[in-house]
Amino acid sequence: MTKKIGDQAGKMFEYFGSFLRKCIFSVLSVGPVPDHIAFIMDGNRRYAKKRNLLDGAGHRSGYLALMNMLKYCYELGVKYATIYAFSIDNFRRRPEEVQSTMQLILEKIEDLIKEESMVNQYGVRIYFLGSLKLLSKPVRLAAERAMVATSGNSKSVLSICLAYTSSDEILHAVQECCGEKWDEGSALESKGAGNGLVFLKGNENGKIKPSIVVKDLEKHMYAAVAPDPDIIIRTSGETRLSNFLLWQSANCLLYAPPILWPEIGLWHLIWAVLDFQRNFSYLKEKTKLS
């Protein structure tokens, strides 16, 4: 009996919270709403230490905080969200920690694919960005399954950066561009066009005509599935980008609240959006110039 009352009270609280959020978001929507928000989820381990929790419990709390933040973003009308789940640098942590994090990631990817998950509720298409070949086979396969399972969704996009660093992304784009140019050149050569290898041997002056441009590189970036982020939120007060979206963050507002990731809430998102709205015209001008 008491459990039923408790459940009902919980549901009422949730409806009230949802109604309040709708009111706040309708006020915020008067101004420009960011199209793409990126999150660096820093502070899970420190949270676990602070609360004297077991190893891994910080990451689980972090996952709950993430689901809430994504829900708020999609309700507000933010179409693209990117999260920094696991960096290539994180492979250097203790093997047991990497193993438990990978186990958690596998578990959560499976949860996301389920019918009743938030992903299907908000029509979210999932992409995994990064050097997925560095991941273990079960995680890589789960990631590929998630991408296929959500390929029919088109309302919003969630990009999960796994085994990702910006420098690796740039190198990968350069590699792909070089491979593409080589293939183009070889194809022209085989057709007998004769000028297929001009950019290898150079023209009469010995100068090489540059053939790879910024647009080619941007086409091959992992993060090309979404536009450049409008806001990057990094928790725990750290002011570094830690090799995250460095190429894409040229005209992006950086927001670093001093709370740990599992402590993040609606208020921080509202503050970030208000900051974005105050700086919108300046950032838009800078984007046009570049």
Partner 1 sequence: MVELLVVLHIPIHQLHLMQDFLKMQLNRILKYGNETQELLKWASRSGNLGLRVLWLILHFAVTIWYFLLGVVQSFESFLIACDILTKYEALDISKVRYLAMVIDSEEAQELSKVFELLQWVADIGVKSVCLYDPEGVLKKNKEPITQRFSSANLSEEAAVNGRLVTRRNLTLEFVSFEDGKEAVAKAANYLFVKHYANGTKEKSDFTEPQMAEALGAIGSGGAEPDLLLIYGPTRCHLGFPAWRLRYTEIVHMGPLKSMSYGSLVKAIFKYTMVHQNYVTSSCGTSMMRKIDLTDAASIVCILLRMFFFDCRTKVKRYLLACMSN
| Closer residue to partner 1 in complex, CB, 33/70 | 33
Judged by CB, which is closer to partner 1: 114, or 240?
Answer: 240
Are 210 and 222 in contact by the 8 Å Cβ rule? The answer is no
Q: Are 150 and 189 in contact (CB under 8 A)?
A: no
Backbone angles phi, psi at 116, to 5 degrees: -85, 10
Retrieve residue 195's tokens.
Answer: 């000028």
Structure tokens at 87: 């960096």
If binding is defined by CB under 8 A, does position 198 make contact with partner 1?
no
Q: Which stretch binds partner 1 (CB under 8 A): 71-79, 108-116, 148-156, 199-207?
A: 199-207
**Residue 42 bears catalytic tag:** yes
- Per the listing, tokens 């100068």 go with 207
How many residues line the site for partner 1 (CB under 8 A)?
A: 64
Closest CA to 38 of 225, 219, 234: 234
Q: Is 174 in the site for partner 1 (CB under 8 A)?
A: yes
For residue 286, state whether it binds partner 1 (rule: CB under 8 A).
Answer: yes
Taking CA atoms, 108 is separated from 44, 130, 132, 151, in Å, by 16, 18, 17, 18
CA atoms within 13 A on the CB side of 8: 5
Interface region with partner 1, contact rule CB under 8 A, candidates 63-71, 90-98, 137-145, 253-261 = 253-261
Stretch that binds partner 1, among 14-22, 76-84, 94-102, 249-257 (CB under 8 A): 249-257
Judged by the rule CB under 8 A, the positions of this chain that interact with partner 1 are: 26-32, 43, 46, 165-167, 170-172, 174-175, 177-179, 181-182, 197, 199-201, 208, 210-214, 216-217, 236-243, 246-247, 249-255, 258, 260, 274, 277-283, 286, 289-290
Please list the active-site residues: 42
